[in-house]
Structure 1
């Protein structure tokens, strides 16, 4: 019995589809296998990367190796590192820059601190110290006085400092506070030219001070407008004979009084023929 032409065509198409699918099965299986292999490799890579990260963070390789400190003048670098809390066991990645900077800035002598991470394992600390404008001398001890008016009793030294003048005979706290403000306004070269500042009030000037300069001159001034008067010191000295020392008076105006020359012993003796 012969099938109609339409059914013959349908049978032929079904046979063709079956053949095509059977040919594609091996290729589909191969692609699935390759895709599964790639997924497995990816998972294994992530797994081993995770293991390596864990081992790295647990090993000394992730610890801080170097700590660099700059900007410090009076506080030793070792002291600043100690204030930071960073040790060679500290993980580089666990260092919080802002927290460390805040911790360092708690020290009364630190005005500002910044912390920076530098790959692979270096921490850079930059500090800005409050300027020491003087040292208060008391009981053979020198106490640093900062420009913000703070007296560092814990940082006292026994040897005479050379980076700022020494305040001698100062017992009045208000006078010290006012003088601190004046010294903070002075240029660094003028401040460094001073050796000692003695508190010497008299009947005429109750805030009178005597300043002994490193170049051999003596300055008589008052706490009031001290910075304004002393800022002109280099120009005043430039007009004087450096071989003649004496007292520069700056209480009201400005004038110079040389020291009296020492009398010779021969002048005091009488000779007889």
Structure 2
């Protein structure tokens, strides 16, 4: 019996020693892999960018050549890109271990409007970021936005009111902007839309998308009743109020006064109608 016990102890010691040796070499192998060039960033690819230089996106991500692939925090790198580059709406990072490649895919924000003031025209992104100043001769394929912003700076954010309008415009189909010649930001949470057919529409910024969808059906309703261009108030729930220009309140008065932009049909001093 003593010999058997001794033999068992020897076997246990041998097994334990083998585990120690295997663990040691596994650790050495792991260190070798981690320190190997094969486990480091050898390539960085950027896609989806049309206006932002690749180098700027890579710098914003914080990912660098030679960095250990184990240390690449994909979620944090994507968040850093969005936080540092206002023109980027979202970003995604992926890692390919065999090739040592970090792939960065970005989705840039779109230009949704052009802000016009005495100093010129400025393209606005969907978050209110002032992208660039453009010459007046460049053509204006986007809605014109006006307001009290007199200190726009390229590559800076516009005012909160203008930014809120841009955010709404980002989700508006182009077809619903047809016929809108100008969007004036009033600064009180509302906008005045000037239409090509001479109608004016008052709408809440918070519900601008819904108001744009309601404009054409509402105008068709009033035109079908024989009403000439006037002011349509969409700031509340239907029925929407129509006021001819001759009795529409001025910007400085609470009572009605003539604006000289058109004549009402007889008997239309103030009318309401439900959304058709």
TM-score by length of 1: 0.51
CA contact (8 A) 1:97 1:116 kept: yes
Task: Number of aligned residue pairs: give it.
Answer: 210
Structure 1 residues 180, 43: closer, same or farther in 2, change over 3 A? closer
Q: 1:192-223 deviations in whole A, cap 9, x for unaligned?
A: 73575276x9xxxxx86534xxxxx5554255
Distance in 2, matches of 1:191 and 1:45, equals 69
- 1:131 Cα deviation from its structure 2 partner: 6.3
Distance in 2, matches of 1:33 and 1:123, equals 51
Higher relative helix content: 1
Structure 1 residues 208, 41: closer, same or farther in 2, change over 3 A? closer
Unaligned runs of 5+ in 1: 1-19, 202-206, 212-216, 240-246, 256-273
Distance in 2, matches of 1:88 and 1:101, equals 17
- 1:84 Cα deviation from its structure 2 partner: 0.9
2:86 equivalent among 108, 132, 139: 108
Q: 1:94-113 deviations in whole A, cap 9, x for unaligned?
A: 12345324422233344666
CA contact (8 A) 2:114 2:124 kept: yes
Structure 1 residues 134, 95: closer, same or farther in 2, change over 3 A? same
- 1:189 Cα deviation from its structure 2 partner: 0.8
Unaligned runs of 5+ in 2: 151-157, 222-227, 234-241, 245-276
Say yes or no: does 1:37 pair with 2:14.
Answer: yes
1:197 equivalent among 179, 182, 189: 182
Q: How does 1:67-216 map to 2 (within 5 A)?
A: 76=52, 78=54, 79-104=56-81, 105-110=83-88, 132-137=111-116, 142-147=122-127, 150-152=128-130, 155-156=132-133, 162=141, 164-167=142-145, 170=146, 172-173=148-149, 178=161, 181-182=164-165, 184-185=167-168, 187-190=171-174, 193-194=177-178, 196-197=181-182, 210-211=194-195
Structure 1 residues 50, 94: closer, same or farther in 2, change over 3 A? same
Distance in 2, matches of 1:198 and 1:188, equals 14
Structure 1 residues 64, 86: closer, same or farther in 2, change over 3 A? same
TM-score by length of 2: 0.51
Query: Residue 144 of structure 1 aligns to a residue in which SS?
Result: strand
Distance in 2, matches of 1:113 and 1:60, equals 27
- 1:190 Cα deviation from its structure 2 partner: 4.5
The structure with the larger Rg is 1
CA contact (8 A) 2:111 2:126 kept: yes
How well do the aligned residues superpose, as a CA RMSD in angstroms?
5.0
Structure 1 residues 134, 68: closer, same or farther in 2, change over 3 A? same
Structure 2 match to 1:12 = none
- 1:137 Cα deviation from its structure 2 partner: 4.3
Query: Residue 232 of structure 1 aligns to a residue in which SS?
Result: helix
Distance in 2, matches of 1:132 and 1:30, equals 81
- 1:173 Cα deviation from its structure 2 partner: 2.0
Structure 1 residues 251, 238: closer, same or farther in 2, change over 3 A? closer
